[in-house]
Structure 1
Amino acid sequence: MVWAKNKALLITTSAIALSMVAGAAHAGGFALREQSAYYQGTSFAGNGTTGDSISSMFWNPATLTGAGHGLTVESHSAFIVPQSDIDGTFTPQGLVNTLTGGFGGSSAPSGDIASDAWIPSTYMSYGLNDDWYFGFAINTPFGLSTKPEQSWAGQYYSRSSEVFSVNANPTVAYKFNDMFSAALGLQVEYLQVRLKSAYPFAASVTSTVPTSEVKGGSVGFGATAGVTIKPIEGTEIGVGFRSAVFHELEGHFINPNAPAVGVTSSRAGIKANIITPEMVTLSAKQRITDKIRLLGTVEWTNWSRLGTVKLKGTDGTTTNPTGLPDLHFNYEDGWFFSVGGEYDWNEQVTLRAGVGYELSPIDEDIRSTRLPDNDRLWLSAGMSWKPSEKLAFDLGYSHLIPADTKINIGPGHQDYNANIGTYTASVDSQVNIFSASLRYKF
């Protein structure tokens, strides 16, 4: 009997560890779009074309050629205020049901799992002459922090989730003529993941279930590229590319004591190869009058490349040291569409607004408790104030409205574990984003 329990424990522990590594990619599965207060105001419509802000270099580095001669510096801050509550029911099965004496079920709500976040970004450009331009950007392109109540109903599938990234991006751009510009850049990116879940084999109806943890970090490299085309006066088209970044997360997996099945705490070193997806941005800007400009953007993100994550030992030679199977994400590609406009109120003030719609790469078939994301509508407004030729301030605001969202972790779901149980829930979410920036031209 003890041998059977230990065997089941090994199988289930492996599945738990694997699901936690999956959570790393789920958490990083959504890029942080909030990289510019200027383009926040248009729901990022026109973000791949030249404008007063050099923050467009995040999506299309060729826009640097619109910065002019000399040094320009920008500092952007986005304040994300999300709200996300999960209300559902957990039904224990297998070993969890046995260890809790059949009383392990729960309908405890998550509370607000979403954490407020500050997303900073910095941009610099230097126009050497009429042809050559150099840029440098520091961004946080991926990130997540969710923390439900400790003993909520979905605790066996997730507790806290944290993803942190920093991306440094030097760029060089060349202006061939008034019609055509091109650019190339390098990405140097640090990614760290820390994920926790309740450890089901120390389950008890009389005490808080302890936590297992996976944590790892990595530095990866990628590229950026872009072109801008101005076929006629007043019309601009921009195409930008951010490549995939290859990460080999190195860290550990920790499980706590599970005395009911004869297991003590353990710590195992692991590696996991994760590839953040490439992104292509197509933007257009059309001047309607001297004061009015119409903007648009279509963005494609290759999330479907996240098909499989393979684990190996930290020595780099042991494949799947814990006997874990490969994980299939089954992501779809992500799409984002937006339209917006700008109006020059006077020489100092510009008003802008935009609407966007984002198609999530995750649907109910694979939606997890770590990041219960869905398609969403963006409604945005913003403004710029330019008190002098050298100094300017930008403000942006967005309200995000997700589609109705369900979680259904049961047989056939990639997170489902028959030794843990099923979890079904509804998610109530909304997001408000406030952003501001300052730019100065020396």
Structure 2
Amino acid sequence: MVAGSAFAGGFALREQSSYFQGMSFAGYGTSGGSISSMYWNPASLIGAQQGLTIEAHNTGLFPSSDINGTLSGGFLGTSSIGSGDIASDAFIPASYAAYRLNEKLIFGVGINAPFGLSTKPEQNWAAQFYSRSSSVFSLNVNPTVALQINDMFAIAIGVQAQYLDVSLKSADATSGAGFPRSNQITGDDIGFGVTAGLTVRPFEGTEIGLGYRSGVGHDLDGDLFAGGVTTAIGLGVVTPDMINLSAKQKVTDKIRVLGTVEWTNWSRLKSPRAINDATGAEATVLHFNYDDGWFFSLGGEYDFNEKLTFRGGVGYEISPIDEKIRSTRLPDNNRWWLSAGASYTFNEHLAFDVGYTHIIPESTDINIDSSHQDYNAAFGTYSGDVDSSVNIISAALRYKF
């Protein structure tokens, strides 16, 4: 599993389904043609047919992000060297399988990369002492069981096993000007969490889904390299939990309208402390202090014929990062999602999905001064603006045995 740039709120990766990508993830917690909805609401597995279903979803992210500004007041004086494109193209795969044992019981499993981040500016750009490269990699395996209580209600619960690997670099001010070496903090760990969900079908043609993905606690075991010295550390991090509410309404036999509201508990990150394994003393602090994130989307589907379905949607994301805490490492902001997609059913067993999204971030500024949590008087103040956009292309194969 490979996940590169994160262009969702914080460093979460929403791109877990080609099917729902085409609607900006509207209605992603309801049952339908794809079992990939189990990522957000495991109870949506009630849409799985008798026997075994497998799906492979593949998403390409093509981001562009440039930071231009001025560093001043530090020991290096003034510098206006731009970051270049800090974002790299990325591939995000997701796989799902479901087995319907009988009319009431369905087993499922998802393999995903829920979190990812890769930013890498030019090595000696103006704000190199605040950040060089950043990398977050995750792999999550999520076995699930769903129970269809009756025609109206279904419930589900699952377990998460998640691997997380983190690497953050910044220039070392103690190594002087020119081409200073990098300080680096690294660590990895396997942690566990849960998922749960509920679906309700109160009327014919109406479905409501409520899904929950818990946070996963990680005690990252790694090293801090700073000032030319390597120190073994432990770093406690808990990834955010998420609650989502989705709805799907049949308008005609061919048209459906869908919507989603999502809340992500990014504020629980706070400021994790890296602890020296040998002494138990605090080695360094990572300042996040994010707000909570919100995502809203509305979309629709149209069955052109028995084989071909078109879909589209629009979403708006409220980032957990604002100008008060925005860093050069992750210059995130609120954004609009514009999406379109389609599905083609080749036969009763095989179907294909495609989805496309263009993301438009709002105007984004970075101001690291004496009031900013990252400010260091030795480095100086940094003021700049971010020019970014993202294109996402996704495709999936669904097969029913």
Q: Distance in 2 between matches of 1:26 and 1:294?
A: 26
Please tell me whether Structure 1 or Structure 2 has the larger radius of gyration of its CA atoms: 1
Q: Is the 8 A contact 2:9 2:318 kept in 1?
A: no
Q: Deviations over 1:40-94 (max 9, x none)?
A: 000000000001100000000001111021000000011000000000001142x
Q: CA offset at residue 419 of structure 1?
A: 1.8
- Correspondences of 1:369-388 after superposition (within 5 Å): 369-388=328-347
Q: Is the 8 A contact 2:7 2:13 kept in 1?
A: no
Match of 1:107 among 71, 80, 88: 80
Corresponding position of 2:131 = 158
Q: Is the 8 A contact 2:9 2:293 kept in 1?
A: no
Q: CA offset at residue 164 of structure 1?
A: 0.3
Corresponding position of 1:67 = 48
Q: Which has the higher helix share?
A: 1
Tell me the C-alpha RMSD between the 2 structures. 1.6
SS of the equivalent of 2:267 reads: helix
Corresponding position of 1:354 = 313
Q: Is the 8 A contact 1:27 1:163 kept in 2?
A: no
Q: Deviations over 1:246-288 (max 9, x none)?
A: 01111001135xxxxxxxx210011111111110010000000
Q: Which has the higher strand share?
A: 2
- Structure 2 residue runs without a partner (length 5+): 1-5
- Correspondences of 1:78-157 after superposition (within 5 Å): 78-93=59-74, 97=75, 100=76, 104-157=77-130
Q: Distance in 2 between matches of 1:287 and 1:424?
A: 50
State how many pairs are aligned. Answer: 396
Is structure 2 residue 145 aligned with structure 1 residue 172?
Answer: yes
Q: Is the 8 A contact 1:83 1:431 kept in 2?
A: yes
Q: TM (normalized to structure 1)? A: 0.87
Corresponding position of 1:282 = 245
Q: Distance in 2 between matches of 1:340 and 1:396?
A: 13
Corresponding position of 2:217 = 246
Q: Share of identical aligned residues, percent?
A: 60
Q: Is the 8 A contact 1:28 1:163 kept in 2?
A: no
Q: Distance in 2 between matches of 1:327 and 1:266?
A: 19
Q: TM (normalized to structure 2)? A: 0.96
Q: Distance in 2 between matches of 1:64 and 1:286?
A: 18
SS of the equivalent of 1:304 reads: helix
Corresponding position of 1:13 = none
Q: CA offset at residue 434 of structure 1?
A: 0.3
- Which shows bigger deviation, 399-408 or 299-308? 299-308
Q: Is the 8 A contact 2:9 2:317 kept in 1?
A: no
Q: Is the 8 A contact 1:188 1:221 kept in 2?
A: yes
- Correspondences of 1:26-425 after superposition (within 5 Å): 29-93=10-74, 97=75, 100=76, 104-204=77-177, 207-255=178-226, 265-314=228-277, 318-320=280-282, 322=283, 324=284, 329-425=288-384
Q: Is the 8 A contact 2:158 2:196 kept in 1?
A: yes
Letter in 2 for 1:293: R
- Structure 1 residue runs without a partner (length 5+): 1-24, 257-264
Q: Is the 8 A contact 2:169 2:182 kept in 1?
A: yes
CA change 1:27–1:297 in 2 (3 A) is: closer
Q: CA offset at residue 225 of structure 1?
A: 0.2
Letter in 2 for 1:363: D
Q: Distance in 2 between matches of 1:348 and 1:272?
A: 51
Q: Is the 8 A contact 1:27 1:371 kept in 2?
A: no
Q: Is the 8 A contact 1:250 1:314 kept in 2?
A: no
Q: Deviations over 1:373-394 (max 9, x none)?
A: 0000000000000010100000
